[in-house]
Each structure stands twice: as structure tokens, then as C-alpha cells.
Amino acid sequence: MTTPLVMGAAVGSVALGARYLVRAWEAFKVAPRVRRFYPGGFESVMTRREAALILGVRERAAIEKIKEAHRRVMVANHPDAGGSHYIASKINEAKELLLGKTKSHSAF
């Protein structure tokens, strides 16, 4: 009499465990994979390191990677889509700095 009772408890616990694992797997698949961007706080004069952090690339990244990263970050922060003009200007400044297209600021 105890054997069927033990077998029933074992089958029930295996079923509950499997149910828990299936639900955990479904929740894992649905969870968005969020990419972290530069957390903020801009320096008065932008450095290559800061520019790379803003775009999410390495300081010595290839030109194509810099352009792709610039496009991705600009789409997320474009002023026409509700983004800030200031943030957009910093993103553009970061791209220009990494591509070597910065203008020299000379005092008159």
C-alpha cells in the first residue's frame, strides 16, 4: 500500500518540478537583453575615451563600426523622436572626435 503512495508522490513532485522549469525557461526567453549605454555626465572637453563610451565602441574602432554605432545611438536619441538636442550634439561630437574630423578651436 505504501509503494503506490510513494510512487504517486514522486510522480507529482517530478511533474511540479518540470512545470517550474518550463515556466522559468519561458521567462528567460522573454526577458529583454538590454544593452547598457554611457551612463551620463559629460566632461567640459570631450576625450577619445568619453567619445568611445558615448558610442559604445573602442577608442581605436574601425570607421565602419563608429558610423554604425553613431547611427544606432542617434536613432535612439534623435530630437525628432523625442530626444534631446544637447545629447544629439554630444553624440555627433563623439563621432567627429573618433573619426578625426574635429575642428581646432583657436582663440582670436
Q: What is residue 26's predicted lDDT score, i.e. its pLDDT? A: 83
What is the mean predicted confidence (pLDDT) over 3-21?
92
What's the pTM value of the predicted model, to 2 decimals? Answer: 0.59
Q: What is residue 1's predicted lDDT score, i.e. its pLDDT? A: 63
Q: For residue 81, give the DSSP letter.
A: G
Residue holding cell 578651436? 105
| Sign of the C-alpha dihedral computed for residues 74, 76, 78 and 79 taken in this order | negative
What is the mean predicted confidence (pLDDT) over 10-35?
82
Residue 105 has pLDDT above 60, yes or no: no
Q: How confident is the model at residue 42 (pLDDT cuts 50, 70, 90)?
A: confident
Q: What is residue 28's predicted lDDT score, i.e. its pLDDT? A: 74
